[in-house]
Amino acid sequence: MKKLLGCVVAVLAYTSLSMAGYDIGKSEMVEPVWPSMTAKSLFPRSKKPADTVYVLDIRGLDYNDIALATTAQGIINKDVPHLYIYIPKPSQTAATSENLAICNDEKWLTWLVKEKYLKKTQKINSLKEAIEKWQIKKVVVLDPQMPGSFNIATMVAGVEGMPVAYPEHIKKYNLQIGVDLRGKFKTNIEAYQWVFDNYWPKMDHTVLAWISPQKNFCHLRDYLVAKKIFTLWVTGRVDGNNVPSANPKEEEKFFRQLLAKMPVNIPVLGFPWAGDGVGIGEQEGVAIMGCSGKFLTCCDWKSNLSVWTGIESKQQSYKQKPMRNIKLENAKIYAALVMSDGDNLNTWIDYFYPFWEDKQHGQIPIGWTLGPALIDLQAPLVDYYYDGLTNTDSFGCAVSGIGYILPETFGYDFKPQQREKVWRQYGEITGKYMKKLDMNWVHIARFGTPVKDIPYEKYAAIDAVKSIFSDYGGYLPYEQTLYQVGGKTVCHALKDDQIKELDKLKTPAFVYIFLYNWGFSSYDKVREFTNTLPKNVVLVRPDELMYLYKQSKNGKK
């Protein structure tokens, strides 16, 4: 999640579902398309990178050239990764927090070589040199008059084996037109339907992408092209306004029906929101994905995945630090801080990196929410963060399982008798990845006050889940924040006003405090907050909190 969102009031029914004014409508009542589930990874992986990886710095190029460069990278790395790119940070108008220093490709490449994940690198001087070196001749020419054309061209590029170009590139780089999309389509829907009809059988069916076709959204393009990934976008009130090819409402309907025809329980890369009014919106997009049994892997600013996915982790298995021996005392308030938005895999490139490098790391117990998909997409990053774990750190599964879903909409478009199977499969995948990363608690995305529509019992049925931390922010009074479901403890976040009055709680008390990551961007800010807590508050990890809570319930000290 990229910004603090308003509460969502959800009422689940098999006929219609509404969320804070957004009406999800009637169920499509379709039969699911089941995935093969035979691959070791949720995502298509690249082969091991070449012994020499060439490095191209495109930070000084305009976005048209960057689009050509990143899609050419996908073609070059299709069989064996040979090319790594330094891609520029997008303009802040590209809808990202000012706190997020996006895609520090140079820093991580230096680390990959130092830690011997890659053997050696060699500089390549220009995009022109790369085009000539890898003998790129033909290109897919997108339609500059049709804003959605970049996504269409990206999909065609992957299948046809040629990068995406703008018309001016033909002369500039001495290229030939392989596929010309100019003037071919009148609407986005017509174009996406054409791709589905003609290219879907030749594309990867284990993953999708939902990413803005604005030309500054180039970061994922190498991977989307290399792996032939179907890439969609639903326009919003801004990017769909007064654009002849766009129709937000019809696109929403079209893609919801199209997604239902694609396999269930597969990830969707990217993000459905790209700025105020640009795209359908975060919760609306995640809801539509979930209706068709898809989950979001937020990674719209991930670059070089065609290289990263070819690099294996060094660790054979991952282990978190054991719980500390904390004595239960009746006069204490035990509080677990849970940091949000680790499902946003962009954050692990740079946003959370300073926490691990800070001299204060380890001084404040924090529960870090982490999207388990990181192990498939960037395994060396998982090595880095697990190697740096202290005994005050705990990783939990974020958010809502293996991927970002709104639990109240998941599987909604399928026939009732099939929904349980869709959910069960989602739980199996979640449990498998939690075990890979030695996780025992899960964070659930819940917005607003209703509790009845969140299927906590489905999460409790997952063996790896020992406790459930729910909510994006606090909504319930303390008396309702802890209870048992299926033998597992559900813990809800405290409201802000309750946090200010912690000293009024009857002790021993056990509380979960939600840290909105964009507001707690450093240890200094976390410490500033913890210094305001009453003296009898003991900060613990989420797993330690649940252990102490069970001790108290059992009458043990």
Q: How far is CA 141 from CA 98, 103, 323, in A?
A: 33, 27, 57
Tokens of 441: 């608690």
- The whole-number pLDDT of residue 553 equals 92
What share of the chain in percent tops pLDDT 90?
Answer: 88
Tokens of 54: 């060439």
| Alpha-carbon gap, residue 432 to 40, rounded angstroms | 11
Tokens of 457: 């019992």
Backbone angles phi and psi of 550, in degrees to 5? -65, -40
- The whole-number pLDDT of residue 2 equals 42
Q: Residue 20: pLDDT band by 50, 70, 90 thresholds?
A: very low
Q: Would you say residue 323 lies in a domain?
A: no
Backbone angles phi and psi of 309, in degrees to 5? -70, -5
Indicate the residue type of 352: F
Let me know whether 361 and 303 are in one domain.
no
- The whole-number pLDDT of residue 451 equals 62
| Alpha-carbon gap, residue 15 to 10, rounded angstroms | 13
| Alpha-carbon gap, residue 279 to 277, rounded angstroms | 6
Burial class (CB in 10 A: 0-12, 13-18, 19+), 487: exposed
Let me know whether 359 and 218 are in one domain.
no
Let me know whether 520 and 374 are in one domain.
yes
Let me know whether 275 and 355 are in one domain.
no
| Alpha-carbon gap, residue 213 to 179, rounded angstroms | 18
Let me know whether 225 and 98 are in one domain.
yes
Let me know whether 458 and 548 are in one domain.
yes
What share of the chain in percent tops pLDDT 70?
Answer: 93
Q: Is the pLDDT of residue 23 over 90?
A: no
What's 502's domain CATH number?
3.20.20.490
Q: Would you say residue 315 lies in a domain?
A: no
Q: Would you say residue 28 lies in a domain?
A: no
Q: How far is CA 268 from CA 194, 259, 375, in A?
A: 20, 11, 16
Q: Is the pLDDT of residue 22 over 90?
A: no
Q: Is the pLDDT of residue 96 over 60?
A: no
Q: Would you say residue 257 lies in a domain?
A: yes
Tokens of 75: 């073609």
Q: Would you say residue 26 lies in a domain?
A: no
pLDDT tens-digit map of 29-47: 999 999 987 788 999 999 9
* 165 within 8 A of 139, measured Cβ to Cβ: yes
pLDDT tens-digit map of 367-381: 999 999 999 999 999
Let me know whether 166 and 69 are in one domain.
yes
Q: What DSSP state is assigned to residue 37?
A: -
Q: Residue 557: pLDDT band by 50, 70, 90 thresholds?
A: low
- The whole-number pLDDT of residue 287 equals 95
Q: What DSSP state is assigned to residue 537?
A: E
Over residues 495-506, mean pLDDT = 95
Over residues 498-508, mean pLDDT = 96
Q: Would you say residue 448 lies in a domain?
A: yes
Q: Is the pLDDT of residue 71 over 70?
A: yes
pLDDT tens-digit map of 522-536: 999 999 999 999 999
Q: Is the pLDDT of residue 556 over 90?
A: no
pLDDT tens-digit map of 338-348: 999 999 999 99
Let me know whether 166 and 268 are in one domain.
yes
* 227 within 8 A of 202, measured Cβ to Cβ: no
Q: How far is CA 267 from CA 347, 387, 448, 472, 545, in A?
A: 18, 27, 26, 22, 32
Let me know whether 261 and 405 are in one domain.
no
Tokens of 307: 């290289």
pLDDT tens-digit map of 410-419: 999 999 989 9
Let me know whether 389 and 488 are in one domain.
yes
Over residues 477-497, mean pLDDT = 96
Q: Is the pLDDT of residue 69 over 90?
A: yes
Looking at every residue in the chain, the average pLDDT score rounds to 92
- The whole-number pLDDT of residue 91 equals 56
3-state secondary structure of 98: coil
Let me know whether 381 and 469 are in one domain.
yes
Q: Residue 223: pLDDT band by 50, 70, 90 thresholds?
A: very high
Among 308, 324, 348, the domain boundary falls at 308
Q: Would you say residue 477 lies in a domain?
A: yes
| Alpha-carbon gap, residue 461 to 324, rounded angstroms | 27
Let me know whether 352 and 442 are in one domain.
yes
Total domain count, the chain: 2
- Domain coverage including residue 82: 52-308
Tokens of 548: 């102490």
Q: Would you say residue 20 lies in a domain?
A: no
Q: Which residues pair with 515 in a beta bridge?
A: 339
- The whole-number pLDDT of residue 4 equals 31
In terms of DSSP bridges, do strands 488-492 and 482-485 run parallel, antiparallel, or are they unpaired? antiparallel
pLDDT tens-digit map of 105-160: 999 999 999 999 999 999 999 999 999 999 999 999 999 999 999 999 999 999 99
Nearest alpha-carbon partner for 95 in 288, 224, 295, 238: 238
- The whole-number pLDDT of residue 7 equals 25
